[in-house]
Structure 1
Amino acid sequence: MILIKSYNIVQYCTTIQFILLFNYWMIDGTIHNADPQLPFEAAFQGECRKSSPCHQLCFDLHDGTFECACHESYQLDLNGYSCLKSNHSTVPFVDADTFRISSTISTTSTSRPIDPIDTINNDDEIKLKNHHHHGTMSNSNNGINNDGNIDINSIGPERNQFYSCNEVECEAGGVCIEEGNDGKDIHDDNERNDEIKRARCRCPLGRGGQFCQKIIEVKYPHFRGTSYSALPTLRNAHRSLRLMIEFKSQSFDGVLLYSGQEPDLGGDFIAIVLNQGFVEFRFDCGMGEGIIRSDMPIILNAWNTLNIYRDGRNAWMQLNQGQQIFGHSKGLFSRITFRLETFLGGSPNISQIVQRVHTNRGFHGCVRTLQINERNYDFSRDTIDGIDIDQCTSDACYHTTCLNGGHCALSDDNQKICICPLGFTGEYCEMQTEFLIPSFNGSSHLQFIGFGDRSTMFTEIIIVIKPNKPDGLFLYNGQKMDRTGDFISLNLVNGFVEFRFDLGSGAAVIRSPSPILLHNWHTIYAARTGREGILKVDYQPYSMGMSLGAFTQLSLPLNLYIGGVPNLRDIHQNVQSPEMFGGCIQKVIINGRQLSLVRDVLSGLNIENCQHICTGNERPCRNSGICEPVKSHYQCHCVNNYIGAHCEQGTGSSTLYPMFYGNSFLKYSDSELIEKISGYKTIIHLNLRAFSSNGLILWLGDVSRQQQSKKHDYLAIGLDQGHLNININLGSGDYHLTFNVTRIDDGQWHELDLVRTAKQIFVRIDHNVAVRGMINGDKSRLDVMNSLYLGGLEDTSIQSSHLYQKGFIGCISNMTLDDNYYVDIVQQSERGINIRTCI
């Protein structure tokens, strides 16, 4: 028997019984759809009268009941009595404690059965796609994407069934609030009485569901902008503090975290605030506030990593891959007294702290990691109080079939991916491909061209690994095959990282201070200059050592091996590694050049693809975007005309003001365009808005690997310490010109004019005095055949010969070449990566 709870439809209609007539039949307790074409119906016992709950039309039926209907261009809501505009859609509410519809209900858009985990916040609401009822349900506005996945940005108040707190009774101390379309409480706002309202319950910590009737455990909290959670008061943080937080924001503004001395943040305090997309770290040691602002905005609806370090009155902050921004508080005091709890996501009384944090909004989004002074917080155990907190979740591996031996798994951010065997990729491992992140099983290796004569006096290695066992050799390059001669190696010994090198007269052995954790990603830095070596693992202290003897040069003519070697008996005897590496290697950088573990490899054995979201079946980067692994996370590099954290948004021709993020670029190869600024004359006009003090703005010249070590014509425009810099070579040597009249890294729009006629060059910013120069040498032509880059290069540091370490962070608009040739910056580009719209 199907039991359906009865609710009062309106406050004055307490005796009307609400009967839902589902066209389902039951076998063995499972509800099945008898005819998917028949509509959902709702009937009320009694007769039509003035006090009936119907909003528009009412019809008496022959069996002593009546039903509601709607005028043309309206549709009947699934509560049976409300009428909504036809472009609205709602989702039926069925109390999960009363009965559950089995996952055999059919839909018209997909054969994928309904998954209970599709619910994002209220797990007692059942999500149906295109389910029939009186009227029509919009296929594009129901919070479910075409692929059947929940779009967290499209799930809004339309899901709620209640429009007044008179209809809602919250359990377990929950409080009903009435919200507008923006999610703000409008219960006491007379100016917004005409706005469509939705009623819902704000639930205390540990409670969830439509009426706070469910006991929930929150592993990764989701905050609504009206939420907060309280963590224990900080200890041993008065003098110094190191903080790391990973968060995904659905809004550009809000309080992310704060703590301090007084409830109104009078006196000492710290606060992390989102302000118009930028992160601000505010702190006061008692004599005046210090504010540090990120050099780039957050990426909305994507995971961002924020690192903060404070030592006394000095502090620095780094957002994602941006710069470390330094600052200090006022006065001489250097300690902060913490008496409050550490509040995450908002405040129990945000109006009380608004004068300090300069916003009246809480954080809207998810937090998955919080680490303060080496303490990793477990949100399910460490949270002592909170309001309006629910679980941040997403679609999971239900009914997903991976082909060719692949299997489905959940990534760190709860996304389903198919883990494919070597040689296969695609959403379901259906396509053949090469590996992206190699995984080594103890009998594996990859072979590359060795160091050769590039590292005789200096060697620098950066490598990112995730070991699954405590011992193993993961990098080796030698001079001979008879276990003698020079060598360099990195290996694990009982969990410790060892850096060894021998210049011919005795090996240096440098060991990390502490062992590393298995099954975690680690960054290892090893370098040598002559006989002196240095090793640093993650945040551990530096270790230093020196090779024996008097030799200072390293000779390594053999090939480089990553992850292991063909035979341990052929390596130098002083390596002393009894086994090879087991685990994953994500990145290898040798002397500033990153190895492509796919394209640069000469040979390999027993290599599998490491489990990572970038190598799974459901590629997170859409529309041909490139997925770059960043330890256990990833970053999408979007091709031209696509933006977004997953390259999911097409820009068309609307991106008139593109924004660059330091790892972005636009490339132009059109011969007509290149001819406008090459030869004897170069005229460039553009507007720019810089959010960082350093970075490459424009590059004109060849960037092929064959040309990187040769002198060739080029023009580079960039920022150095906030000042505009021009580097140019007409074939007679490099020439450098700095516009030091004013800094332009203030986040404001500035006009740039550059004019070159033969060897004379003229640069002006806005209406300031122009800076002029004379290019050295006897050449007067800028001979460039192709390749104009805007915002950076594909590998800025290498391809610019280390003139710039990263690309431009900011916006560029209104670019004109040769006086009157207007460039449609995005549309005319041949290729682009990581281009977004200027904020």
Structure 2
Amino acid sequence: GINGDACELCFNGELLTERGCNGLFMPRGIDLERCGDETCKNGAHCVKGSCTCREECPYQSFPGSICASDGRTYDTECQLVDHICKSQKHLYITRYNPCQEPSISLIKPTRDIQDAGFNNQYQYPATPTSITVHGLLGDYCINDLDCSVHHGVCSETRQCICDTDYESSVNGRFCILSQEDQSPCSSNPCLGGGTCEEHDGTFTCFCPSNRMGNQCEMELSAHEPLVPLFNGLSSYVELAALEKVDHKLSMSIEFKSFDSNGLIFYAQQYDNGEGDFISLAIVKGYIEFRYNLGDGPVSIISSHPIKINNWHKVQAKRWHRDGILKMDSYPDVRGQTKGTLRSLDILTHPFIGGYPIKNINYLSINFGTSDFFSGCIREFKLGHKDIKIQSASEPKSRKRVDLGECQTAECKTSPCKNEGRCVEGLDGKYLCQCKKNYSGPECQEEKNACTRNPCKGGGECKFVKSEPICECPPGRKGTFCELVTLSDESAFTFVPSFNSKSYIELPTLRHVSKSFEIQVWFLTYQPNGMILYNGQNTNGHGDFLSLNLVNKKVQYRYDLGSGIANMTSKESVQIGQWHKVKITRKGPHGSLQLDDGQVVTGSSYAPLTELNLNLPLYLGGFKFSYTLSRNSDIVIGLDGAIQGLSVNGHLVEDLMEHAKDSRRITRFSGPPCDSHKCLNGGLCKPSFRSYTCKCRKNYIGKYCEKHLNVVDDKRPVHFNGKTYLKFMNKLTHMINTNETNMDLVEEDVQLIEWNEDFDTDDDEQIGQIIDDFDSDEETFDIYGRRGETNNKFTVHLRTIEKNGLLIWINQGTSLKGDFLAVAIVDGYPELSYKLGKKQNTLRIKSKKRINDDKWHRLKVIRRRRTGLIQVDKLKPIRGKSGTGASILNTNGKVWLGGKEPLPPGLPHQYYKGFKGCIRKVKIFRKRLDLLRHGDNSNLKLCSRT
């Protein structure tokens, strides 16, 4: 363990003593300095001919707590140097972690040191210093419990001494076995199942996957990731063997360094350093990516240096002889090896942050520095695999040596309550890891039965006399609000109202990390109030998205981790009036538009471009203010109402049905349904600033003013090119003429849609598969995204128009998704559909013209990739789409007569609605009763059958 020309140096910076390199380290910044006729010692420096202690740290010190040879824990290395200077004592660092023994925290001010051995000219401010006091050997004690040293006991003279068969170590901090030939591992120093390995008269603990620290004394948390700290001296992580990297390898790492040199990643062919290798290191402040395929190494150096103690993201890629290095948002740097060899042969395990000590001087020739990495690593990826190098469940992490916890300056104030552990989170801010029975950003909340909210349907949980009590929202009852009392008719018209302290909690927004489009229809009675918020961390740190009213202006903000984007509408909202706000984001760029006003654009700061959200989405207000980012500028909830929410073209049809939690939500009573506009018991449903009447049985018309009679049952429905009927829910329900299950959309109503399954993964959205064309028991669920292998429609119609869309089913807002359409093109009916992103649109056109003002039966069938269209009893026309997908994925809504808006790229004839008469529609063998559907506002009948 000793090297140097005169065998005077320890290889890893340890202090050489009479017993060799035994774990002591000299703090940085205490070199001797000549000052006139005297010498400044113990870290003092010369100022105007006098030795003075520095007021500020002259270098970037090790940031974590350290243990010194006086048995005390110091918050930073700089604090130790300051104490050495002021006390003029010779102290050393024994470990780059807190001292092991249980300690008592004592806060006391420093005092001027005036004694014969110290010149009074040393000047320093009297600032508070936090020092931890221990029950060390020689300290006063009453019983054995007062002696914190392992194998220490309290003697008859009330001093801590070593127990029988043990003796004091050189630094007086440990009790070691008296036998000189005793193994360092014999005392089982590694905790929690760690494996002890002896070397050079000392030992190293190899921790199990759920522990870390010099002696595996820290247990990793299962619910929050830690950001590991490397001490630059003995820390490293050994990974499992690399696989399939002979031709290509890519890695990505996010780190901050405390030094301008340090090994980040290294893997080699042979243990002695010979043969191929690949490395990533900080060399003289720059990132160097090196590899050798056998014809000599290549070194690719970043175009810009790193900034000490700042977070950086570095990506390194190799393909055969070519290599690419990218740091943050700076341009790529490229390189290529000489020679003809193209394969990288790695036979040993790779290492992160450091390397086992042997052959370190020889290996440093490969990676360009003899220093290990000093700093924090919060993300490491090989290829697309995110490797949690410190995680208990990470199979790629084989060994972890001397890792600490990366802590922010905020951790020094001990913000975590109830014995919570303070660590640095992935966003660079502090994060409290709570014990089992506590929660909250600072572990301040004791968990109870309401923590997971057993109340259904948005019920509010209150903990009363050790029991959870559910306060149910409108339309719910029962112990846990499990019973639905809101009728279908009431749900149809329900719009939630907020009182500035209300909120609706919805599942976390999904599929918005790279881009999104969100629309909200809202009304406010006050100039300020929160509309929408979704965050990343419960302490308010990290990424977030917010929509907020500030002085009647709509304010749109988001943070991707490197600085917020802030946009404010040019127009002001009108109190008591419905407004529509649309926000978008693609990468760092965003836009905001209020109603049809000016589009405001903005961008977040580089380099991060993805939005990471973990918390629930809140509408109209917030549950806990501390979960909000300070940068969101949210102060109070909305005093008003929210009528609609759309994300990426998908509408939440019933906000309360999707709510995970809510508080103080009531039914909104106001425009546009604030008067009796629907006659004969019809229900008024708001649609932005317009409305739709849902008529009672036997009534139709825009205001439900027309009564149906027996004669009307036989009359067909008239479509005027703007009559669009939307069908949803299960088909078996729609067939029951005693129920009302169809929505009618007027021409001036623009719908935005969001599936009920917005919180599920794509592979869970296949839904019910229909295998039998002609089953009378078919229950075609067309609410939410469904995958269908078959479709069958039968329509009896009459028209004189050459063009018009008859049936429309689709997914999303563009033609990138699946769709199926039936239209009349130049007088001929045609079926078209697209299955999957890689398929082209198939169009099957009948040879029979039908715009002759005569009744025709049109039958359309699709079975997987095969389609068929038949007019009357003529021979069907068939077609088959290309190889690939065979399932039609849609949003589950069937439109009859047309739809607005339609995605661009369709034949121009599709953008015209159907004009004519329809007297019968079947889906499979089930007939729709159009007249008694109920939502038939503005519906007219044809004059003849």
Q: Same fold (TM over 0.5)?
A: no
TM-score by length of 2: 0.35
TM-score by length of 1: 0.39
- Relative contact order higher in (CA < 8 Å, ≥ 6 apart): 1
Which structure is larger by alpha-carbon Rg, 1 or 2?
2
